[in-house]
Amino acid sequence: MNLITKDPFFGNFLDDFYENKNSNFNTIMKSDIYERDGNYIIEIDIPGFKKEEVYIDYDEGYLTISAKKETVKEDNINYIKRERHYGEYSRSYYIGKMEESKIKAKFEEGTLKITFPKEEEKNTLKQIQID
């Protein structure tokens, strides 16, 4: 029986888009990434959070989305089961360097939608002369 765990041709090409499996990001911030009309679009589900609790930072080509919700403590409640998550969560995506004004975001009904242009990578390969 042969078990192939990685694509032998593309290897780890998309690994930057996937979350750390050792965290609870995979239950809190699931995302879809797709291309439409010359743009990349990232849609991230952040259920139970308000727009004011979601933050987007862009630095050195990395887009970081974080969400923070404080624990609500009510003295008169004796929980039998509690599954809702509280705390701070974040997730980063490498999108390349661009002007931050080209990155647009919208938050509706627990889904964050980020749109940015698909730009061709500039060829930074420089040939060095050998003496």
Which domains, ranges and CATH numbers included, belong to the chain?
A: 15-74+81-117 (2.60.40.790)
What are the C-alpha distances in Å from 57 to residues 49, 93, 110? 17, 11, 19
Mean pLDDT over 46-58 rounds to: 92
Specify the pTM.
0.67
Mean pLDDT over 97-107 rounds to: 93
Whether the per-residue pLDDT at 10 is higher than 50: the answer is no
Strand order through the sheet with 39-45: 30-36, 39-45, 111-117, 104-108
Instruction: Give the 3-state DSSP-derived string for 80-127, with helices as H, strands as E and coil as C.
Output: CCCCCCCEEEEEEEECCCCCHHHCEEEEECCEEEEEEECCCCCCCCCC
Given this model, what pLDDT does residue 65 score?
94
pLDDT band at 20 (very low <50, low <70, confident <90, very high): very low
Whether the per-residue pLDDT at 2 is higher than 60: the answer is no
Of residues 28 and 45, more confidence is placed in 45
pLDDT band at 3 (very low <50, low <70, confident <90, very high): very low
Structural tokens at position 73: 């403590």
Please name which of 62, 64, 120 lies closest in space to residue 96, comparing C-alpha atoms. Answer: 62
